[in-house]
């Protein structure tokens, strides 16, 4: 339940914070008549996301045996790709997201493009909704449907409440900190999904096992325990993983950390170059 709560909370909070920025900016520039168009876009996105979840389950929920294992692993890998993209998108956009949104709103109003405002509200929520549907499908193989739904609903409601608190108070949201903290958790979740995908492909015989159960700590922390269950649903914890599962988990984390470090190093170099060429 925790992983569905976190995913729904994180995706919902990002969407509602961005929608809040759009609406509050429309009030700030006294163009509140356009707020309804943003809300129309939000409602359309939520409706379409629910429809996609239903169709996804209807069409892809009946696989069995080896095909089911391959499908499960493929969905998990797709979720890992999207989560990885999110990590880098968050690091790249964290500081400029508010100003970028305000510029987009100004352009839409100045050019009289009401549809653009509706589309802006739609695409912000639909992107998060579609990602949530994909992630929920990926983790549905690790948690039961009741926990998935309850965690998701509580996460969405919590994100709405927190977003309303932010905009009703004088608290300013530090998107940079928010994205960095959630980025770490997303990285660990993605690593767990990647490791679990390897496990599914091994069970399907798509990739070799090489060496199974390289260690076994089930007597210390089993999957059936409360903590083990939480770690399994959130980070894909396995008390007795295969060699490839362990290597895949560690390699994913190392690769992401190195790429993020390279990203910030390049940003630092660019700042140094700009400061060295600035007039004194």
185-202 residue pLDDT tens: 888 888 888 998 999 899
Distances (CA, A) of 57 to 4, 51, 63, 72, 149: 17, 10, 11, 13, 14
Which one, of 186, 200, 206, 188, lies nearest residue 250 by Cα?
Answer: 188
Which one, of 140, 252, 244, lies nearest residue 198 by Cα?
Answer: 244
Distances (CA, A) of 31 to 23, 36, 43, 101, 227: 9, 11, 20, 15, 50
Model confidence at 235: pLDDT above 80? no
Query: Length of the chain in residues, anyone?
Result: 280
CA distance 1 to 230: 8
pTM across the whole model: 0.75
Distances (CA, A) of 111 to 86, 97, 152: 31, 21, 39
Model confidence at 268: pLDDT above 70? no
Q: Is the dihedral of CA 77, 78, 83, 88 positive or negative?
A: positive
Angle at 213 between CA 257 and CA 221, to 5 degrees: 75
Which two structure tokens, joined as six digits, stand for 78? 């797709």
Mean pLDDT score, 82-109: 80
The alpha carbon torsion through 156, 160, 166, 172 (nearest 10 deg) reads 50
Local structure of 156: helix, strand or coil: helix
197-219 residue pLDDT tens: 999 899 888 998 888 889 888 88
CA distance 201 to 232: 18
Hey, which of 17-26, 55-64, 85-94 has the most confident mean pLDDT?
17-26
What residue ranges in the chain does DSSP mark as E strands? none
Which one, of 61, 77, 62, 64, lies nearest residue 207 by Cα?
Answer: 77
Q: 246, 276 in Cβ contact below 8 A?
A: no
Q: 41, 184 in Cβ contact below 8 A?
A: no
Q: Is the dihedral of CA 173, 255, 132, 229 positive or negative?
A: negative
């Amino acid at each position: 339940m925790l992983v569905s709560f976190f995913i729904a909370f994180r995706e919902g909070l990002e969407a509602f914070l961005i929608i809040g920025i759009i609406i509050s900016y429309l009030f700030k520039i006294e163009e509140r008549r356009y707020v309804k168009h943003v809300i129309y876009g939000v409602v359309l996105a939520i409706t379409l996301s629910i429809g996609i979840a239903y169709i996804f389950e209807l069409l892809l929920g009946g696989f069995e045996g080896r095909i089911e294992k391959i499908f499960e692993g493929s969905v998990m890998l797709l979720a890992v790709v999207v989560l990885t993209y999110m990590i880098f998108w968050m690091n790249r956009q964290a500081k400029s997201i508010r100003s970028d949104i305000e510029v987009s709103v100004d352009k839409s109003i100045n050019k009289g493009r009401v549809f653009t405002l509706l589309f802006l509200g739609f695409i912000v929520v639909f992107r998060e909704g579609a990602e949530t549907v994909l992630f929920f499908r990926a983790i549905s193989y690790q948690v039961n449907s009741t926990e998935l739904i309850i965690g998701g609903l509580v996460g969405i409601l919590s994100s709405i409440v927190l977003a309303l608190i932010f905009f009703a108070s004088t608290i300013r949201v530090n998107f940079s900190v928010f994205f960095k903290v959630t980025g770490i958790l997303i990285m660990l979740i993605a690593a767990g999904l990647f490791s679990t995908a390897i496990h599914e492909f091994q069970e399907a015989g798509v990739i070799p096992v090489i060496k199974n159960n390289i260690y076994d700590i089930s007597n210390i922390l089993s999957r059936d325990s409360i903590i083990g269950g939480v770690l399994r649903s959130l980070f894909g914890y396995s008390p007795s993983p295969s060699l490839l599962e362990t290597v895949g988990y560690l390699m994913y984390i190392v690769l992401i950390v190195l790429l993020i470090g390279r990203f910030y190093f390049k940003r630092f170099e660019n700042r140094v170059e700009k400061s060295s060429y600035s007039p004194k």
